[in-house]
Amino acid sequence: MNWNHILTRMASWLIVSAGRLLFWTLRRELRFPAPGSNAFERPDGHLYLFAVWHDLMLVPIFAGPQKYMASLVSKHQDGSYLAQSLERLGMMTVRGSSTRGGAAAIRRMMDVTKHKHITITPDGPQGPRRKMKAGMVFLASQTGRAIIPTGHSATRCWRIQGRWTDLMVPKPFSKFYLLTGDPIHVPPDISREEVRYYVERVQRAMEELQVEADRLAQSSVKSSTESPTLPLPVVRTSRKQSTRRAA
């Protein structure tokens, strides 16, 4: 009996059940400005690579249906918990790396995901936190798929600390924001200098979207805590009533 496999399945069931219950209580605001970039709807011919920071991944995972999305998940044990959880939600998972295995590995991955978007955490699996790596840019260059940067925030949340990053968990009955940006197209056969340029470009786009998502969340909190100042009621008394009382 493989106890590790059994424990992984039990853990994934608990994660998915708790996540579904939590996100059922939440209000949400989703923004998809680019054509076909709503990953929760059937692709209309546009297929993208979605970049999601590791600490914010709960929001896109539980924000909507996952049957049109695939995810590249590492082969580490932490990846096993994540892969099982994603598959329970209907998402296809591909175990491996965006850089290891060469062109053959990329072709295999594209064969099994040819009708789906792909989500990648470009700062995983070992960090540094929220620092873009070259693997996603390399994959975009090899596949011809544009990168969609994202930003996520919540009006109230917990931060669960891990080994190299934390994990944002929205609190019950709060509101979360899911923002996506304009597609970033990476040309084929780019040089190392061009790879660095596109890594920095995606990094900037991710940071700008995150600033905007955090601003929206903070503005929502501020507007909900500020109580409007109401004018004092005015009591009008006629001259005739005032004279009668005086008498």
Q: Structure pTM?
A: 0.85
Tokens at 135, concatenated: 């693997």
Strand, helix or coil for residue 57: coil
Q: What is the pLDDT of residue 246?
A: 42
* Structural domain count of the chain: 1
CA-based angle 34:39:43, to the nearest 5? 80
CA gap 90, 168 in Å, rounded: 22
The helix (H) or strand (E) run that includes residue 69 is strand 69-73
Tokens 């975009």 — which residue?
140
Q: Does residue 24 form part of some domain?
A: yes
Q: What angle do CA 216, 218, 219 make, to 5 degrees?
A: 65
Distance in angstroms (rounded) separating the CA atoms of residues 140 and 237: 76
**46, 37 Cβ separation under 8 angstroms:** yes
Q: 87 in a domain, yes or no?
A: yes
Domain-located, residue 182: yes
In a domain, 213, yes or no: yes
Is residue 81 assigned to a domain?
yes
Judge whether 197 lies within some domain. yes
Residue 213's region, left for phi above 0, alpha for psi from -120 to 50, else beta, is alpha
66 located within any domain: yes
Determine the distance from the C-alpha atom of residue 157 to the mean position of all C-alpha atoms in its chain, rounded to a whole number: 14
Through-space distance between the first and last CA atoms of the chain, rounded to whole angstroms: 99
Which range marks the domain in which residue 186 is found? 3-220
In a domain, 38, yes or no: yes
> What is d(CA 203, CA 206) in angstroms, rounded to the nearest whole number?
5
Q: How far apart are CA 232 and CA 186, in angstroms?
A: 61
Neighbours of 167 (CB within 10 A): 15
Write down the pLDDT at residue 76.
Answer: 65
Task: Give the residue ranges of the chain where pLDDT is below 70.
Answer: 1, 75-79, 96-106, 226-247
